[in-house]
Amino acid sequence: MAKQSTNAPAGKQSNTNEAAYIFTDALKAHGDDEAKVFALKIGAAFDERVQFEISRKASGSADMPKVKKLNSYRGKLALPSMAKVLMELKISEMFINTRQGKETDGDRFNIYAIDKVIDFVRALAGQQKLSNAHNVAIAKSMLIFEENGKTFTGEMAMCAASDKIRSQNPDAKLLRRHNVDKSTAGTQASSTLNALMALGLVKNTGTKRAATYVFANTNQAKAFKELLQAV
């Protein structure tokens, strides 16, 4: 297996037998012009999402505060530096418009999850450490569970989001817990996990009702886990 690293500040591993995979070096392999083009595609995906949300006004379901947030998120994600991260993760910009159900006029990719995607992407770009407390609690807890050979479920994700939730699972003592009110723990947990899955860093190996979350077996996910070591 090749050495994995996101480089500073994420830490690194060594293996003298094979060439290293260093996330920040991998980002440099993506040309600036290519990144600018992809950033424009990200911006266009946000424009499409904004128009979709505005179009719902006719049915009385338009959420204009959501439109304002989307415009703000466009300014944060539709940048060449952020585009390079999505390119290295091999993620299409169209995740922003993913339908959440079969209905063509139904909800799209969760607005809170987009915000959390931005936090993860900024960290992977080396611009900052993870700053969203729920992202930290849930992703770090996943890493701890993996290191201890434990199963990370939806219940454990909610418990990581809120230390107000009591669990009969003895593994809960391993969690890195945040202190949000338990009434919002489900929303916070699902949006963080949806962000991680949209980026291809985590997958659900269980079912929708009985989810089991694991890190993807990719160089990118391994580099992300190194980043978490420093959190």
Structure tokens at 39: 């950033």
Q: What's the pLDDT score for residue 89?
A: 98
**Annotation: CATH topology of 133-229:** Arc Repressor Mutant, subunit A (1.10.10)
Q: What is the DSSP letter of 4?
A: E
Q: What's the pLDDT score for residue 13?
A: 43
Asked if residue 170 has a cis previous peptide bond (ω within 30° of 0), the answer is: no
Burial 209-225 (b: 16+ CB within 10 A, else e): eebebbbbeebbbbbbb
Q: What's the pLDDT score for residue 15?
A: 44
Q: What's the pLDDT score for residue 12?
A: 43
Q: What's the pLDDT score for residue 16?
A: 40
Ordered by start, the domain boundaries in the chain are: 31-109, 133-229
Q: Are 159 and 137 within 8 A, CB to CB? A: no
Using one digit for the tens of pLDDT, what is the confidence trace for 178-194?
A: 999 999 999 999 999 99
Listed as ranges, residues in the chain with pLDDT below 70 are 1-19, 58-62, 100-105
